Structure 1
Amino acid sequence: MTISAAPSRSHGLIPAHGGTLVDLRVPAEQREAVKAGVDHVLECSDRNACDVELLMVGGFSPLRGFMHQEDYQSVVESHRTTSGLLFGLPIVMDTHREDVRVGQRLLLTYRGQELAVMTVESKWEPDKAREAKGCYGTTSLEHPAVKMIATERGRFYLGGSIEGLELPHRVFPCGTPAEVRATLPDNEDVVAFQCRNPIHRAHYELFTRALHATNVSQGGVVLVHPTCGPTQDDDIAGAVRFQTYERLADEVANPRIRWAYLPYSMHMAGPREALQHMIIRKNYGCTHFIIGRDMAGCKSSITGDDFYGPYQAQDFARDHATELGMETVPSLNLVYTEEEGYVTAEHAEARGLHVKKLSGTQFRQMLRSGEEIPEWFAFRSVVEVLRSAS
């Protein structure tokens, strides 16, 4: 197990909490020795595998393993560990197994791969209702993450250090923080754009215009960093999303855009998730983070009501950005107009411009029916991928 020093880059391109960038992978020649004498084999869920990978490569720096009960409870209650470090959401391993005990060593596997060895240092039965209320602001099963922790996660949570063996094989080629940083320019701002869906014209306009924000240097770049782990049930499949990103990167060929993929599973936790994303992107070398309207928000599966206010995530992230050494870039409310193309909604209203709209439902219907999709709404390459996958 090694810890690599953070690259000496300006603009605070160090881990979100300072210190060094964690890398918990053991050298290949030591892996058999690390696996010797494990007490149990524990198969990871898709979400577990994302957390294990981010722990191994330093995405959750400075964590060296899954949180102990005390840190878990502190993060649930105050979005901080017991030592005061900011974390939007707790990082824990879960299991239904009663035979796992503190002091044992677990081989964590995933789809035929041996990912890591975990030393169990803490085991407890969580109060999931309290976790839901603290992290997501609700105990309603209509919230996707509340439903997840209630119905998917195991009865027990485990905390403890890990020793990494192998990264999961993924359709998305997920670069480590060190690898992503190596693609970023020295001494310039790096603006992170988080997404979990295919990128359309409005998204592209949004993150390229972010480079012209007053707090972004002229030579800065955008890191488009989509999540590739589990999202909401009705989201487009990961393999299809990956194809849309790859095709779009080739189509736009914009030298001020970098593309990478993040092994993270969405919780749709609104403000808490915005903070989590900002911490992770700082670890990947970003200086700025775009906060969209109702970022990582979700709606009731019954009433359709929003769980979070439209600017809750922006306000929460902005309030903690300075502590992390980050800056936020609020996303513009862009609309497409017949007269001037994409402009802010405020500009369109002030000028009396004619706004054109196309809802997500209409877009999906047009995809299925084979109708022509207007290029002001979606990139042709993205539409081709989505159509071929439907």
Structure 2
Amino acid sequence: LRLKGEPFAVLDIEEIYEINPEEVATRTFGTPENNPEVVKVPFDKKHPGWVIYRSMNPIILAGKYTIINEPKLRPPFDRFWYPPRKAREEFDKRGWRTVINHQTRNVPHVGHEMLMKTAAFTGDVEPCHGILVNAIIGVKRRGDYPDEAIVEGHEMVHLAGYIKPERHMVSICLWDMRYGNPLESILHGIIRQNMGCTHHMFGRDHAAVGEYYDMYATQILWTKGIPSFGFPKPVNEVPYGLQIKPQNMKEFWYCPRCGEIAYSDCCNHAKEKQKFSGSFVRGMVAEGVFPPKVIFRPEVYKVIVKWWKKFGYPFCNEEYVKKKEEELEVDLPHMEI
């Protein structure tokens, strides 16, 4: 196996079989007819993950692989790279017995910060010792924040003291999102459990794009199960299920009546709420307008500006996406075979 033209790993082929890509896509993402609990509308070519699965090579090679030429992460990603063993060692070093994961694909606004702070109050006999931000780094869509701004924006949350550095840690996950909502959340749970996390927060529209799924599809899976997807009980309650525990969260908004960031299940002023809209914040950033402090921490905004100056635009554009797909986040040493 090669990566960027260099030898990367050896695959010991144990099995070769053929699949029907259309059937795999249908069973993975679901249909309104087969999975009425959570699928709202049929998938189409606007859904990137569904298209990827339908376009897969039908010939599958399976077996064990051995990495022979380990990739080296480029700055700034190198300091956020924590494979499972390294992550567990870091948790032990910090004395974290319970750790809750926060998955993200965005630069954090104050709503994200409040989600982390509030979800971390779960645990066992005390709140979770640590909050692990595990940012999804991979193929980007035009209009997304650059990966560099995402990881350094989250790092700034603790560098600026909004969450204590002793309780907050930023890492990356090299994964191209499939936007498979409930079933993809199982993969996310496996990854974070392997890293040593004891809890995983799931918000509205987890791993979702568009309006294909119920906005709380992932939470339905982790609290009730989805029989049509083969889970009569929650993921962590079925035989051989995951051990990581879900912390399902709803919405945070700014309430002018309460004068604070409020949680939807606590605040009774829904008609007056001011939602944290990612598109609204992006609109302000694109116009060069400094978002209000109640929405965006100024230190985090400065991280966006830093990478804006480097790339010439605050969001991913054609040039960034093309360069990203060509160069990736890694370098491999030259190896002769």
Question: Same-fold call, TM > 0.5?
Answer: yes
Give deviations 1:154-178, integer Å, cap 9, x for gaps: 3532211101123333342321101
Matched length: 275
**Aligned residue number for residue 331 of structure 2:** none
Asked if structure 2 preserves the Cα contact closer than 8 Å seen for 1:189 and 1:216, the reply is no
Aligned residue among 13, 23, 26 for 1:133: 26
**Aligned residue number for residue 87 of structure 1:** none
SS at match of 2:45: coil
Q: Distance in 1 between matches of 2:2 and 2:19?
A: 23
Q: Distance in 2 between matches of 1:359 and 1:288?
A: 26
**Aligned residue number for residue 319 of structure 2:** none
Task: Give 1:137 shift.
Answer: 1.3
Unmatched 5+ stretches in structure 2 = 32-42, 224-233, 314-337
Give me the CA root mean square deviation: 2.3
SS at match of 1:194: strand
Q: Distance in 1 between matches of 2:121 and 2:276?
A: 27
Q: What pairs with 1:1-390 in structure 2 (closer than 5 Å)?
A: 108-138=1-31, 140-151=44-55, 153-171=56-74, 172-173=77-78, 174-185=81-92, 186=95, 188-213=97-122, 215=124, 217-218=126-127, 220-232=129-141, 234-252=143-161, 254=164, 255-299=166-210, 306-318=211-223, 319-322=234-237, 323-338=241-256, 339-349=258-268, 354-357=272-275, 359-388=277-306, 389=308, 390=313
Task: Give 1:194 shift.
Answer: 0.8
Q: Distance in 1 between matches of 2:96 and 2:300?
A: 33
The amino acid across from 2:218 in the alignment is A
Give deviations 1:88-125, integer Å, cap 9, x for gaps: xxxxxxxxxxxxxxxxxxxx111144221112222333
Q: From the superposition, tell whether residues 248 and 346 of structure 1 become closer, same or farther in structure 2 (CA, over 3 Å).
A: closer
Task: Give 1:267 shift.
Answer: 0.9
Moved runs in structure 1, 4+ residues, more than 4 A?
Answer: 231-234
Q: Distance in 1 between matches of 2:200 and 2:28?
A: 21
Q: From the superposition, tell whether residues 355 and 310 of structure 1 become closer, same or farther in structure 2 (CA, over 3 Å).
A: same
Range with greater deviation from structure 2 (232-241 or 310-319) = 232-241
Q: Distance in 2 between matches of 1:248 and 1:282?
A: 24
Q: Distance in 1 between matches of 2:275 and 2:191?
A: 34
Asked if structure 2 preserves the Cα contact closer than 8 Å seen for 1:196 and 1:231, the reply is no
SS at match of 1:348: coil
SS at match of 2:72: coil
Give deviations 1:116-162, integer Å, cap 9, x for gaps: 111222233321111111111155222211112334x4353221110
Give deviations 1:31-50, integer Å, cap 9, x for gaps: xxxxxxxxxxxxxxxxxxxx
Unmatched 5+ stretches in structure 1 = 1-107, 300-305
Q: From the superposition, tell whether residues 220 and 248 of structure 1 become closer, same or farther in structure 2 (CA, over 3 Å).
A: closer
The amino acid across from 2:193 in the alignment is K
Asked if structure 2 preserves the Cα contact closer than 8 Å seen for 1:337 and 1:353, the reply is no
Q: From the superposition, tell whether residues 123 and 232 of structure 1 become closer, same or farther in structure 2 (CA, over 3 Å).
A: farther
State the percentage of identical aligned residues: 23
Asked if structure 2 preserves the Cα contact closer than 8 Å seen for 1:336 and 1:342, the reply is yes
Q: Distance in 1 between matches of 2:242 and 2:19?
A: 29
Asked if structure 2 preserves the Cα contact closer than 8 Å seen for 1:232 and 1:266, the reply is no
